[in-house]
Amino acid sequence: MRRLAFPTLWLLAVGVAGYAVYAYSALPIGAAVHPDMRASFEAHRTAVYLHVFGAAVAMLLGPLQFTARVRERWLNLHRWTGRAYLGLGVLVGGLAGLYLARFAYGGLTAQIGFGALAVLWLYSGLRAYLAIRRRSILEHQRWMTRNYAFTFAAVTLRLYVPASFMAGLDFAGAYAVIAWLCWVPNLIVAEVLIQSGRFKPAHGPAAAKGVRP
């Protein structure tokens, strides 16, 4: 089961990132969302593009950051992809997402849900960065795990939305719930992994040199 978990996560991340890049580069903005959401997307197109770009970068680079072989054999690659993940992915995507949360479809519940997601995405990225600046590798790993749980909300959201359609639910009400459902369970899973003792102090070149940004 564990052997299948990582490839599945990677495939879902690549698939959603690829779909997002295609939908927002080859199609008119808002073409891939519910018709009731298109006007808002058109009114805030710059923020939408920045958010999609940032989220795609984070989704694609995130799994690479958790690959032990990369950390141990290609430490500089791990550092540079980490910089891109936090700087281009989380920072850009998170700030744009925080701005867009004010206009989220689904009312106040959705706006608060997506706003909380953006704040926690940015906060956990900052904590991961500060931890690695102190060369606290174990703390860095834990905060990066939480951070990628928030990044992965882009995937789970796109699983829940079509599921709500198939279930025949009212979209506005369902979307307000999905604004929370797309990330709260992800965070719970991340905390279970962290509390299970899965993460251990690093060994080898990463520990000897210190994984710094």
pLDDT band at 205 (very low <50, low <70, confident <90, very high): very low
pLDDT the model gives residue 207: 47
Residue 209 has pLDDT above 70, yes or no: no
- One-letter identity of residue 176: A
* Residue 32: DSSP 8-state: T
pLDDT band at 20 (very low <50, low <70, confident <90, very high): confident
Kindly give, in sequence order, each residue whose CB lies less than 8 Å from that of residue 147, ignoring residues fewer than 6 positions away. Answer: 90, 121, 124, 125, 128
Rounded to an integer, the average pLDDT of 170-187 is: 94
pLDDT band at 4 (very low <50, low <70, confident <90, very high): low
Decide which of 41 and 28 is more confident: 41
Kindly give, in sequence order, each residue whose CB lies less than 8 Å from that of residue 71, ignoring residues fewer than 6 positions away. Answer: 78, 202, 206, 211
Look at residues 120, 119, 114 and name the one whose alpha carbon lies nearest to residue 102: 114
130-143: pLDDT as tens digits: 999 999 989 999 99
> Is the C-alpha dihedral spanning 136, 142, 147, 151 positive or negative?
positive
For 2-209, CATH gives 1.20.120
75-107: pLDDT as tens digits: 777 788 889 999 999 999 999 999 999 999 989
pLDDT the model gives residue 200: 56
Rounded to an integer, the average pLDDT of 146-175 is: 92
